[in-house]
Amino acid sequence: MIVSAAVIVFPGSNCDRDAVSALSKHSTKRVHRVWHRDTDLPKVDLVILPGGFSYGDYLRSGAIAARSPIMTAVQSHAKRGGLLVGICNGFQILTETHLLPGALMRNAGLKFLCKSTPLRIENADTPFTRAYAGLDQTSIPIAHHDGNYFADEDTLDRLEGGGQIVFRYVNNPNGSSRDIAGITNKAGNVLGMMPHPERAIDPLTGETGGLAFFKSLAGVMA
Amino acid sequence: MSAQNNPTSFEQAQALGLNEDEWGVILKRLGRAPNQTELGIFSVMWSEHCSYKSSRRHLRKLPTTGKCVICGPGENAGVIDIGDGLACIFKMESHNHPSYIEPYQGAATGVGGIMRDVFTMGARPVALLNALRFGSPDHPKTRALVSGVVAGIGGYGNCVGVPTVGGETNFHAGYDGNILVNAMCVGIAKQDSIFYSAAKGAGNPVLYVGAKTGRDGIHGATMASAEFDDETEAKRPTVQVGDPFTEKRLIEACLELMQTSCIVAIQDMGAAGLTSSSIEMADKGGVGIDLDLDKVPQRETHMTPVEMMLSESQERMLIVLRPGKESEAQAIFEHWELDVALIGKTTDTGHMVLHHKGEKVCDIPIAPLGDDAPNYDRPWVEPPTLPAINADEIASGDPAKALITLMQSPDMASKRWIWEQYDRHVMADTIKASGGASDAAVVRVHDTNKALAMSSDCTPRYVLADPYEGGKQAVAECWRNLIASGARPMAVTDCLNFGNPERPDIMGQFVRAIDGMAEACRALGFPVVSGNVSLYNETAGTAIPPTPVIGGVGLIDNANTAMGFGGAEAGDALVLLGATTGWLGASLYLREVEGREEGAPPPVNLEQEHRTGMLVHALIHGGQVRAVHDLSDGGLACAATEMAMASRCGVHLVASDTLLDAAWFFGEDQGRYLLAVKADVVDPLLDQAHEAGVDAKVVGTMKDSDVVLGDAMPLALDLLSQKHENWLPAYMEDA
């Protein structure tokens, strides 16, 4: 169960507010926003790297943010076993820092894609997905230009074998290897996913497939 | 004295688009010939784009006041009261000329520019819409223009993180040589924290923030004030280049600065960049302004004063500060890693004085630049009146076939290929966006239970056929779309796209369209609070169809009551509100099925429009309806088909006793809505309509999985959906 969380704000992050508000509503009231140039993290159980276009996606999505001052503290947090989630651009930052394997390439269709995507829940036994237990599928929207997950065959086999593939697309929208939408690291405390759970928590604004994600983080079984 | 201070000649002025009279006024005001920098400043300030010299006197006819209006036209954007101490700030603007020359950057910077107009006033941008008009799908340039414009709009809005929630896209050969890219931005501010552009008080520091100044976009405002010709392609260097990453940081930094008490006045650098922003602020504040151009952050070396003053480099703002607040303000911009520099101060001279490398390079009185700018009463002629088409003379073919033709016609076909490239959900407040089965986009006001509805509308074929009725119709349709989404319509912004105003027939279109808009805005209590005029949309003597786009905003007090057209269920009765005469003149049916573009457009009865709209509003909030759709292009049959597709349920429409099939199913009589209601509320609803003086009748039922028009062959809903969805992706990708 998480007691407190931090959302890192890079210049160009644009889902930081949405992540903070989803966490405060459904996971924990104690959410810190941390500027990328800070070098220390407050004492937290969970760190989120939010979606957006850190550094305008210049060079490569996530590449410059991965070298931001705060990332040293974020890496130590992950090495200590702290929970770390990268959503969309956050996932790209996690592969750029090698906290997660593989890379996110331009979508196979070459266009930015914003749409609701049905997902298969491949592993509901993680701190991020426990509240999905008993569900085969959910639906969470994507909004990205570079979400085409790529890794070599050995890495993909290892991800499969280790239960590290958490979400798979039902209808692969972007060409991702083995329909991958979200993976964890080997230790299971770092998650990267392209879909945006923070946008899927309210029936009024569309879908609710992201609610169980935030409830899992809160340690509440849905 | 360097060469740049030498007096200029009339020939030089003419080359920059000034005429003999305007040159005479400059000589008289200055008592001498202007130097190069001064001439450059006069030429952009008096360009059509900046001075509204052909349109000003006519725009005055539009109603601009109302209970909800906090600030009407004249500032960067319009401001309305949405209750709870909050204000909605919004505006629409064109970026037509640049988007044709360089579609990606032209469209992207159009989006960036309109967002700056909104956050300049203290609002956080919360929604973007865009109204696009492209040439015929058969024109060799159209595909590349669609692809570039859409990528540019998405590339900018997605990165900044403001959802693109709505808009419209039309195709017509009339836009082959001049496409239209009109972008609208809607923002939300606190009423006690709205910022204006009047730089009152002498001796205040002037702060430059944002991106560095380069040589891009010089004379962009002048380009937007002339027709295109064979040399237009060579104007690519006048198109600006956008950087949404800087814009995002600029928004955050400006909104942070606005929480302090540092700001006297603030203005974005849009058309004519540093020139218009500094002159407008000084002019409105009744002060002079001194700038030291050596302090302007520059991207390129050896820039001349005139280049710096006319550059349209993007993502730049000019701020007049309270004295002593310099370091507090600078610290905020440095935190966001933006360029920031003190470049001058306000004065009591009433003059704009520029220094460059130790030399005074400009000294001109400000008043004549703004207030005394040219104001023309261009000659105009009354547009010809077209005869009404007698619907009985139109051969009524198979309505089922006609429906298929219409649903996959370029204007009617699904625009999914476009809107899937736009982030519609960032900020997590989007209730209805494109593809959301609603006549208007609906966005929740953050942290409240209210929502804003917004829609952009124009039917250019009506305006071309009759500018006055077409102008009325654009306003009425926008109002209707807001009503159908459950909102109370509040106010509008406009974007008036026309050809060359120096031609009396084009000026006639402009004058009469405004007359129609003014009448509709007045009758519907729908004031105009901001807007933009784009003239000279013309290539080699051929003008675009007149396209006055209306961007309306409405308020929904309880976001949960937002209405759409996707909620109909099997067994529901379909009730048509509003009178049907079977008007086929200037209709989509006549164009797409009969291949005829002729006849007078449907008239709008504004008094009836208002009455019907108020009834629909009451019915929605009385909880009596499950789905509402306004009738527009393609009439009853197309509206019912869209409702059926969105509700995933078939629909059976009855034929008319009195009208031929084409007129009944596809006529475009105005002021009508289609309602899906539970069968047991039909009778009381008809009574209520009767009492309200609104025509109402049951025209069909939701059932099974076919669309059936009277006695015509049933059409499988899946087949219609497929054809409707396939046209645009097939056009864009299978070529």
The backbone torsions φ and ψ at residue B608, rounded to the nearest 5 degrees and listed phi first, read: -70, -35
Q: What is the mean pLDDT of residues B299-309?
A: 93
Q: What is the pLDDT of residues B312-370, one digit of tens each?
A: 999 999 999 999 999 999 999 999 999 999 999 999 999 999 999 999 999 999 988 87
Tell me the chain A residues in contact with residue B160 when contact means C-beta distances shorter than 8 Å: 14
Q: What is the pLDDT of residues B169-204, one digit of tens each?
A: 999 999 999 999 999 999 999 999 999 999 999 999
Question: Is A198 an active-site residue?
Answer: yes
Alpha-carbon distance values, B220 to B34, B50, B237, B276, B479 (Å): 21, 11, 9, 13, 34
Q: Does A58 touch chain B (CB under 8 A)?
A: yes
**Contact between residue B106 and residue B89 where contact means Cβ atoms under 8 Å apart:** no
Contacts 24+ apart (CB under 8 A), B64-68: B64/B527, B64/B528, B64/B529, B65/B527, B66/B491, B66/B525, B66/B527, B68/B490, B68/B491, B68/B527
Q: Is the pLDDT of residue B231 over 90?
A: no
Confidence of residue B225 (pLDDT cuts 50, 70, 90): low
Query: What b-and-e string marks burial along B579-618, b requiring 16 or more CB atoms within 10 Å of the CB?
Result: ebebbbbbbbbbbbbbebbebbbbbbbbebbbbbbebbbe
Contact: B159, A196; criterion CB under 8 Å:
no
Q: Which of A26, A36, A77, A88 is catalytic?
A: A88
Tell me the chain B residues in contact with residue A198 when contact means C-beta distances shorter than 8 Å: 428
To the nearest whole Å, the CA of B323 is away from the closest chain A CA by 29
Can you read off the two tokens belonging to residue B578? 């509003």
Give the pairing of strands A190-193 and A83-87.
parallel
The mean pLDDT value of chain B amounts to 95
Name the residue of chain B whose CA is nearest to A16's CA. B427
A129: closest CA among A218, A28, A22, A19? A218
Name the residue of chain A whose CA is nearest to B558's CA. A204
pTM, rounded to two decimals: 0.96
Contact: A14, B161; criterion CB under 8 Å:
yes
Q: Does B437 touch chain A (CB under 8 A)?
A: no
A74: closest CA among A44, A119, A116, A111? A44
Confidence of residue B130 (pLDDT cuts 50, 70, 90): very high
Tell me the chain B residues in contact with residue A57 when contact means C-beta distances shorter than 8 Å: 159, 245
Nearest-10 crossing angle of helices B36-45, B273-285: 70
Contact: B244, A56; criterion CB under 8 Å:
yes
Q: Is the pLDDT of residue A13 over 70?
A: yes
Nearest-10 crossing angle of helices B606-621, B467-484: 10
- Out of A14, A114, A145, whose CB is closest to B160? A14
For B424, the enclosing helix (H) or strand (E) is none
Confidence of residue A221 (pLDDT cuts 50, 70, 90): very low
Residue B531, strand partner residues: B494
Q: Is the pLDDT of residue B222 over 70?
A: no
Question: Is A88 an active-site residue?
Answer: yes
Q: What is the largest CA-CA distance in chain B?
A: 88
A-B Cβ pairs (cutoff 8 Å, strict)? 86
Q: What is the pLDDT of residues B680-732, one digit of tens each?
A: 999 999 999 999 999 999 999 999 999 999 999 999 999 999 999 999 999 99
Beta strands in B579-712 (DSSP E): 627-630, 651-653, 673-677, 696-702, 706-709
Confidence of residue B221 (pLDDT cuts 50, 70, 90): low
**Contact between residue B339 and residue B216 where contact means Cβ atoms under 8 Å apart:** no
Cβ neighbors of B230 (< 8 A, separation 6 or more) are: B540
The backbone torsions φ and ψ at residue B284, rounded to the nearest 5 degrees and listed phi first, read: -65, -30
Q: Is the pLDDT of residue B1 over 60?
A: no
The rounded Cα B635 to chain-centroid distance in angstroms is: 25
Can you tell me the distance from the alpha carbon of B111 to that of B132, in angstroms, rounded to the nearest whole number?
12
CATH 3.40.50.300 fits A5-221, yes or no: no
Q: What is the pLDDT of residues B441-466, one digit of tens each?
A: 999 999 999 999 999 999 999 999 99
**Contact between residue B339 and residue B297 where contact means Cβ atoms under 8 Å apart:** yes
Q: What is the pLDDT of residues B572-627, one digit of tens each?
A: 999 999 999 999 999 999 999 999 999 999 999 999 999 999 999 999 999 989 99
Can you tell me the distance from the alpha carbon of B577 to that of B284, in angstroms, rounded to the nearest whole number?
48
Give the pairing of strands B124-134 and B164-171.
parallel
Provide the terminal-to-terminal Cα distance of chain B, rounded to the nearest Å: 60
Q: What is the pLDDT of residues B613-639, one digit of tens each?
A: 999 999 999 998 999 999 999 999 999
For B520, the enclosing helix (H) or strand (E) is helix B504-524
Confidence of residue A222 (pLDDT cuts 50, 70, 90): very low
Give B228's DSSP letter: B
CA dihedral A147, A148, A151, A152 (to 10 degrees): 180
